[in-house]
A and B are shown apart, each in its own frame.
Chain A
Amino acid sequence: MDSDYAGGSGEADREIIRLWRTWRTVFEMLQDRGYEVTEDEVQISLSEFRAKFQEPTSGLPRRDQMKISARPTEAMQAKYTALPSKSNPNPQPDCGTIYVEFCADSSGVGTKQVRTFNHTVDENNFHSGIFITQTPISPSAVRLLSGIPGRICEHFQEQDLLVNITRHELVPKHVLLSPEEKARLLERYRLKESQLPRIQVSDPVARYLGLRRGQVVKIIRKSETAGRYASYRWVI
């Protein structure tokens, strides 16, 4: 009995540490995307996280309480506002409050959980949502998640966010260009956007930054000869 309890607690401890790292990565991700998050939230320490989300008796994490909603900053809104055109002289920013939810079910996440998530996003009128599960979700659930018209829902697995991939030394810096910067780039190099090199929406960094089809991202690499080297990718 005693050893059983100790083993279980060790297991729970490991789980809470993993979850803490995922939680931090989620906040770093929101920050990098341009949402309003405080430095305290990003730098949350393990003990604070424990105090907030650990069940005092069993030591297990309370995933059902792990919910985040964040508003976009002004800078992000500017980046997501299309250029004014004749038909749309006063464009509105195509971004809004984001909602992040951790799924409590440890296995077998299907359409049922995704439906509830979709319902929450729809009901509270969130612009986009991120659904984080412990296990992979079924193909129909993925299709259901991406199927809400007018809203953007993404899915991550907890283990995908265990480490922040963009902090790795071999991953160059990716910067999203605003429509204005994109227009200037295309003007300067006399290009059509289809002539740019491409990056897939499913690319890990593109997923991290929540890039959308048609955007252009600037990739800044270190170069031995040139110091810094910028290249551009069109998201497809």
Chain B
Amino acid sequence: MPSPDRPAAASSPALAQRPGTDPRHLAIALHHAQQIQAQKDTQTLILDRILELIELPSSPTADPATPAAADVAALKSALRPFQPADYDNLILERNIEGRCGYALCPREHRKEDPRVRFRIVWGAKGSGAGGRGREMDIVPREKLEMWCSSECAERAMYIRVQLAEEPVWERRADDRRGRQILLLEEGRAASNDHHRQRQPSASVKDVLGQLDNLNLATGSASDSADLALERGDVHPALHGGRVEVQIREKQVAAGSTRAPELRPEDRMGGAIEGYVPRDTQDQDQDMLDLL
């Protein structure tokens, strides 16, 4: 028997020809081994992506509100295979490097007094209950220290909720989640457009940022190839399942079928699944007596 934990040995022809081996077992073991290998490959890929994203943004003076188009494209394509937990790892790594957790922000993260464990954060005016006063939030220091500002926190969390929960190798091809990630600014611009058709934007800076974002759809073919690789679609193990499916039409027996017709015993309703109700039994008997 080939041992399932050694796919390299199992794939050699010598093992397949050994007496007493079942090719089905071999195939199953190989299938699972290849699946596990694909998962490992994906995890290494995600690790590489995290290491790349720590270095973003490319220029130290970049503005997180109007990021460079190249950085946005890099971020979006890199985030595709991520799960929210991987994204948290990215934020952690960036914080260890002393950067803000939002991948497009070049600033340092906030540093609070290390003796303080919680902070009270006040919301904007009119954010409290009933649209009056201010909203109050008690935030642990670690959460506060992840970001350079609350704007960056919002931007980063806006991306996090768009990531798909399930790992890449379980995603379906038609799953839109995690493939079209919007930055907070893009999301806002889209919803603005939706609400009040084409209002001029507030500042020249915003417009410039949006112009930058216009030419994003280039190279989508190579992107989808990348995604296929990430998902492990190219793996022969994932092409077809373990079970060969053959669809065969049902053979209908020759001869015509006839519509059911009334038989004498069905007159009073007949048997229900072989059981003749007592009432009708008696009635039948009576009828027979009368006759």
Contact = CB atoms under 8 A, between A and B. Distances in A.
Interface of A: 108-112, 138-141, 143-144, 147
10 contacts: A108-B95, A108-B96, A111-B50, A112-B97, A138-B93, A138-B96, A140-B47, A143-B43, A144-B47, A144-B51
A157 B284 CA distance: 91
Interface of B: 43-44, 47, 50-51, 54, 89, 92-93, 95-97
Of all A-B residue pairs in the complex, the 7 with the closest CB atoms, nearest first, are A110-B96, A108-B96, A140-B89, A138-B92, A110-B93, A140-B50, A139-B89
A119 B96 CA distance: 19
Contacts of B96: 108-112, 138
Nearest to A105: B96
A111 B51 contact: yes
Contacts of B54: 111
A13 to B, nearest CB: 22
Given A111-B54, A138-B89, A138-B92, A143 B97 contact: no
A169 B234 CA distance: 54
A109 B97 CA distance: 9
Contacts of B50: 111, 140
Contacts of A110: 92-93, 96-97
Nearest to B98: A108
A147 B46 CA distance: 13
Contacts of A111: 50-51, 54, 93, 96
Contacts of B97: 110, 112
Contacts of B43: 143
Classify the secondary structure of A's interface with B. Answer: helix
Contacts of B51: 111, 140, 144
Most buried by B among A110, A138, A140, A147: A140
Given A108-B96, A111-B51, A140-B50, 4 more contacts: A139-B92, A143-B43, A143-B47, A147-B47
B5 to A, nearest CB: 9
A147 B40 CA distance: 10
A144 B50 CA distance: 11
A139 B89 CA distance: 7
Contacts of A143: 43, 47
A207 B190 CA distance: 53
A48 B50 CA distance: 43
Contacts of A138: 89, 92-93, 96
A140 B44 contact: no
A110 B89 CA distance: 10
Contacts of B89: 138-140
Nearest to A110: B96
Nearest to A115: B51
Contacts of A139: 89, 92
A144 B97 CA distance: 16
Contacts of B95: 108
B148 to A, nearest CB: 16
A109 B92 CA distance: 10
B18 to A, nearest CB: 13
Nearest to A213: B5
Most buried by B among A109, A110, A141, A144: A110
A112 B44 CA distance: 16
A17 to B, nearest CB: 24
A111 B97 CA distance: 9
A141 B97 CA distance: 13
B157 to A, nearest CB: 20
B124 to A, nearest CB: 32
A68 to B, nearest CB: 26
Nearest to A214: B5
B69 to A, nearest CB: 27
Contacts of A147: 44, 47
A144 B93 CA distance: 12
Most buried by B among A109, A112, A139, A141: A139
Contacts of A140: 47, 50-51, 89, 92-93
Nearest to A112: B97
Nearest to B88: A139
Nearest to B85: A139
Nearest to A107: B96
B115 to A, nearest CB: 15
Contacts of A112: 96-97
Contacts of B44: 147
A155 to B, nearest CB: 15
Most buried by A among B54, B93, B96: B96
Most buried by A among B43, B44, B92: B92
Nearest to A141: B93
Nearest to B95: A108
A145 to B, nearest CB: 11
A69 to B, nearest CB: 27
